[in-house]
């Protein structure tokens, strides 16, 4: 029977990946220990939707780095194709691609991480893996070949994850621009009867929080 790789799970460590990139050989996540990174796949070099994504990602590279986050691209193209394509982007789009791109010509990494979906062909779909500074997988996003990603959403997700991790809170929809809460953050719900009752007694009239119920309490983010 054919053996299929098991997808990595959120909250687990990204599997060790020894890869060849446009910046040389790398071992992930170890070579980026202490940094967050975004590992993302694109269907193919020299394709228009992918080109728009790469231009946008490269233009935002400094924003990612300001959040201690690196970018790593991937497709099943050879490294020579990557190099020629990034050269074309620089010459024709006036945008230098400053992050490494994995050449996964044998599809080993793509299959291990579930980036190839048979119903969509043999190219990688648009997958996004956000990995934290300890090598833990924090977010997975998948898009079909025909729909480009939003770089702003990737940046927003990293900001939310980093703030939530540092402050022990959860983030509402579209944070920090939620229609109900604005940029307020959510205190995780009580998980025991005792804690729920404690919150009823101590937080209901607390002016520093917005108490809707014991399971729905928000507060301003620290500026």
50 is catalytic: yes
| Number of CB atoms found within 10 A of residue 48's CB | 8
Residue 183: φ, ψ to 5°: -105, 15
Catalytic residue among 14, 50, 89, 186: 50
What percent of the residues of the chain are helix, what percent strand, and what percent coil, each to the nearest 5?
A: 30, 25, 45
Cα–Cα distance list, 25 to 20, 31, 100, 152 (Å)? 4, 10, 10, 29
The alpha carbon of 128 is separated from its chain's Cα centroid by a whole number of angstroms, namely: 5
Q: Which 8-state DSSP code applies to residue 189?
A: P
What angle in degrees, to the nearest 10, is found between the helix axes of 79-93 and 48-59? 70
Residues annotated as catalytic (active site), given as ranges = 50
């Amino acid at each position: 029977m054919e053996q299929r790789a098991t997808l990595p799970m959120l909250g687990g460590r990204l599997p060790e990946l020894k890869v060849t990139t446009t910046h040389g050989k790398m071992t992930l996540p170890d070579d980026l220990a202490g940094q967050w990174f975004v590992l993302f796949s694109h269907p193919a070099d020299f394709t228009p939707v992918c080109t728009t994504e790469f231009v946008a990602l490269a233009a935002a590279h400094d924003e990612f780095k300001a959040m201690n986050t690196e970018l790593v691209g991937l497709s099943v193209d050879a490294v020579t194709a990557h190099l020629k394509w990034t050269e074309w982007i620089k010459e024709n789009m006036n945008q230098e691609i400053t992050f490494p791109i994995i050449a996964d010509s044998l599809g080993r990494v793509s299959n291990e991480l579930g980036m190839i979906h048979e119903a969509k062909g043999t190219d990688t779909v648009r997958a996004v893996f956000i990995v934290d500074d300890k090598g833990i997988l924090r977010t997975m996003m998948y898009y079909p070949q025909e729909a480009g990603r939003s770089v702003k959403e990737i940046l927003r997700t990293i900001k939310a994850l980093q703030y939530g991790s540092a402050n022990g809170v959860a983030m509402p929809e579209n944070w920090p621009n939620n229609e109900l809460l604005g940029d307020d953050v959510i205190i995780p719900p009580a998980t025991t009867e005792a804690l729920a009752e404690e919150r009823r007694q101590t937080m209901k009239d607390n002016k520093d929080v917005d108490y809707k119920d014991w399971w729905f309490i928000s507060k301003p983010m620290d500026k």
